[in-house]
Amino acid sequence: MSVDRADGTAAAPQATAAAPAGATEDKSGSLGRNVRRKEDRRLITGHGRYVTDIELPRMRHVAFLRSPYGHARITGVDVTAARDAGYRVFTGQDFSHVVLRAQSALPSYVETDQPVLAHEKVCFSGEPVAAVVAKDRYRAEDGLEFVDIDYEALPATVCAWQEPEVPVHPEAPDNVLLQRTFDAGSVTDAFTAADLIVERELVTNRHAGNPMECRAGVALWDAADGKLTFYNGTQVPHIVRNMIAELMGVPEGKVRVVAPDVGGGFGVKAVLYPEDVALCLMAREMPGIPLKWVEDRAEHLLAAAHARDHRYLIKAGFASDGTLLALEADVTCNVGAYSVYPWTAGIEPLMAGGLLSGPYKLDNYRCTVRGVATNTAPAGPYRGVARPASVFAMEAMFDDAAARLGIDAIEIRRRNVITPEDIPYKMPSRLVDDSGHYGECLDKALDALDYPAFRTEQARRREAGDNPIGIGVALYNELTGLGRAASAGPRMPFRTGHDACTVRINPDGRVTVISGITSQGQGSETMIAQIVSDAIGVGYDDVDVRIGDTDEALWGFGAFSSRQAVIGGGAAHNTAVAVKEKLVKLAAELIEAAEADLRVVDGEVYVVGEPKAQISVAELARVAYLESNRLPDGIDPGLDATTFFDPIRGAFAAGAQAAAVEVDRTTGELRILKYVCVEDAGRAMHPQIVDGQIAGAIAQGLGGALYEHLVYDDAGNLSTGTLLDYLMPTSAEVPDMVIGHVSHPAANPIGVRGVGEGGTLGPNAVLAGALRDALGIDVNTLPISPASVWKELHP
């Protein structure tokens, strides 16, 4: 795969943040340039520090015994053979006093308990029931064979839109854990007035984030201090600390969570899992002995969070000119066996209902969403949460209506999309769109695709009887960087709108930033260093960023909802500005100049109009820490600050994707001829990182559209338990892409809009639209495979 930028500059050149010496104006910023990533040296040369790399004295390894049944009562547990063989064994009874109970204040929500290790019954195949501790992982797995669990099988339910024979949780006899109806205007009246009603049943495929590094943890209980240290490959170390402390009844100050380098997350690692809690509880039982668990791929496919197993019964009413008049939907999300902790079973259904109408104007909307438990692995957050499915459903309405009304598929979208004049636009779910730049993204995308040329080629092929080609498009609005007002959706007992940041100018004038953000490979350290070096006026190379350790950073909710550039970045900027204020005040006093006349550039302080630097940041820092004899009255020692930032609302990122595909009529194979994406990142802080995020997200979106499918049989066994059966796209399957940008800064300190997830939103809809365009067939289920296309062609 290679990425072309739509402006024709191909891969943007690498630049370093060297500042022009003697400049009095700040022309040397690192933001907006492809500075060398802080992470590159260690990650590219094999010096990354992942949980797997942690080796501690006396360390022991843990393996989990997992349920072979989708649904069964546990009738007997016998660990004598394992103990006789010398293994330390833990079972559900050992930790039956601890349960994970994801909470939400939504009226219909049914709270359920997730055990740390199952003891009464197992609710999905792969659920942990016991754990064995041994000298190494091989022996730990040997030990599992000595543990005897008796099961009495129960009928399993794997489909969320089928009546359960035996419910997963007795508290929810119909398996429905949450249901909510969004209602605006009057759909009934609008359907009566409509000239056309289109109606579809769409089913999307269960799949998962599958980061390259699976889950991992090392837990150590220090008996002397009564303190737990938990190295965890997580996206959310502070949330983990908060929850572990509460679940274990330990003061929060006595829990340290460290997320070192993390090899991908995609939402899968934004969940606190029973295995994590078990590891910490076991460590407390074995003081002084670090316990390590590194998940393998088979476990990951079985038991880490799944996603995107939805059904949409959807109906849209249109006027004859293509105006969307009403939208009605019934959305069922298969949330798996447990309400995922702490996000709840609401995470996917509420996102689906809240954003179904996407970037389109709509007055009359009724949508009932529900999260339904089944005997499958719990569903949780996955990059784009529900939106790849909901965009697929929404865009299907337009493609369908366009064909029936004889309107061009592009034109019908233009007639309905939210425009800059409509901003702020209150969506029928009452979210407020602050963007409106969808039309511009679409125009640029069609330009980059060379839309007319493909239409010409399409006509030629139709004439010649060659393999057909089709063009598909999708528009979307991705809600990013949600502040307290926007993050209130699932009504959980916390609001994820803010992050903290500490900026410290050290005695040598260099800067250390301790940020509450986390990184799973996105280049977050680079971003924070760029923001802080620009805000203060020091060199990018003079800023170090430390993240991931709850004993260092004050607070950060972590990586999800495309929030860190907006919120963590905002916090870094504001904090750096606060430190700079003190720096400038100190400088003004020392060199006897007016604060307003001072400029800080590349670590030197200039007075406007004078070519020579007057004093360096290093000297100011020395005064601040070491030479209090030179400190002016009223200025305290030290040069640091810690502040929080919350954008209150969110920033919508507009996006458009388009592709031309070719279909082989005999085999049903689909070949992507060209794939284009244009997004609004607001201000692109590091263009290469932005493009990388978009390209990676599209690759995952294509995986979901064409390959990835977690399939259960009726008894609740996972049929796709290894990467032999669970197909992920490799570089050979991901086409070259053209990525373009529009740039409309958002109303936050650095003007950014999140770009982490948007790319995943388009591919389902784009490819389904392209197939319809090529062959006139409806895509009602995903993934699209040669077999599914062939079946449509040979009914």
- Per CB under 8 A, residues contacting other proteins are 137-138, 141-142, 296-299, 666-668, 707, 709, 711, 719-720, 722, 724-725, 727, 729-730, 732-733, 785-787, 790-791, 794
319 class by beta-carbon count within 10 Å (0-12 exposed, 13-18 middle, 19+ buried): middle
Residue 432 beta carbon to other proteins: minimum distance, rounded to whole angstroms: 42
**Based on the number of CB atoms within 10 Å of its own CB, is 83 exposed (0-12), middle (13-18) or buried (19 or more)?**
middle
- What gap in Å lies between CA 70 and CA 165, rounded to an integer? 13
- C-beta closer to other proteins: residue 140 or 659: 140
Least distance to other proteins, CB of residue 464, Å: 20
**Alpha carbon separation from 106 to 56, 93, 110, 490, 788 (Å, rounded):** 44, 32, 9, 7, 39
Given the complex with other proteins, which of 137 and 284 has the nearer CB atom? 137
Q: CA 785, CA 205: separation in Å to the nearest integer?
A: 12
Q: How far is the CB of 67 from other proteins (least distance, A)?
A: 17
Burial string for 338-372 (b: 16+ CB within 10 Å, else e) reads: bbbbbbbbbbbbbbbbbbbbbbbbbebbbbbbbbb
Choose between 301 and 314: whose C-beta lies nearer to other proteins: 301
Distance CA 792, CA 32 (A): 47
At closest approach, how far in Å is the CB of 219 from other proteins? 21
Q: Which residues pair with 255 in a beta bridge?
A: 228
How is residue 457 written in tokens? 């080629």
Provide the minimum distance between the beta carbon of 253 and other proteins in the complex, in angstroms, as a whole number.
Answer: 38
Instruction: Centre a 10 Å sphere on the Cβ of residue 596 and count the other Cβ atoms it contains.
Output: 8
Q: How far is the CB of 667 from other proteins (least distance, A)?
A: 6
Residue (of 418, 564, 417, 556) closest to 480 by Cα position: 564
Q: Which is nearer to other proteins, 203 or 403 (CB)?
A: 203
Closer residue to other proteins, CB minimum distance, 631 or 727: 727
The distance of closest approach from Cβ of residue 786 to other proteins in the complex, given in angstroms and rounded to an integer, is 7
Buried b vs exposed e over 479-499: b needs ≥16 C-beta within 10 Å?
Answer: bbbbbeebbebbebeebbbbb
Q: From CA 215, how far away is CA 217, in angstroms rounded?
A: 7
What the block records as the tokens of 235 is 């996206």
**Based on CB atoms, which residue is closest to other proteins, 684 or 706?**
706
The kind and range of the H/E element at 405 are helix 387-405
Q: What is the rounded CA–CA span in Å between residue 748 and residue 651?
A: 8
User: Cβ closer to other proteins: 515 or 785?
Assistant: 785
- Helix, strand, or coil (residue 724): coil
* DSSP annotation of 203: E
Geometric angle at alpha carbon 209, from 208 and 212, rounded to 5°? 130
Q: How far apart are CB 68 and other proteins at their closest, in Å?
A: 13
Which residue, 120 or 296, has its beta carbon nearer to other proteins? 296
Identify which of residues 207 and 573 has a Cβ nearer to other proteins in the complex: 207
Q: Which is nearer to other proteins, 594 or 724 (CB)?
A: 724
CB of 759 to other proteins, least distance (A): 20
Which of 171, 296 has the CB closer to other proteins? 296
Shortest gap between Cβ of 465 and other proteins (angstroms)?
17
Instruction: Compare residues 183 and 664 and give the one whose CB is closer to other proteins.
Output: 664
CB-CB contact of 576 with 532 (8 Å) = yes
Can you state the angle between helices 763-775 and 786-793, rounded to 10 degrees? 30
Q: How far is the CB of 144 from other proteins (least distance, A)?
A: 10
d(CA 263, CA 705): 23
Residue 783 Cβ vs other proteins, minimum distance, rounded to whole Å: 10
> How many Å apart are CA 657 and CA 680, to the nearest integer?
12
165 versus 296: smaller Cβ distance to other proteins: 296
Provide the token pair at 137. Answer: 């992982």
Q: Which is nearer to other proteins, 9 or 667 (CB)?
A: 667
Return the DSSP state at 36.
P
On whether the CB atoms of residues 153 and 332 are closer than 8 A, the answer is no
Contact 761, 655 (CB under 8 A): yes
- State in angstroms the smallest separation of the CB of 785 from other proteins: 7
**Which H helix or E strand runs over 232?**
strand 227-232
CA atoms within 13 A on the CB side of 213: 25
Per-state percent for the chain, helix, strand, coil, to nearest 5? 30, 25, 45
CB of 216 to other proteins, least distance (A): 14
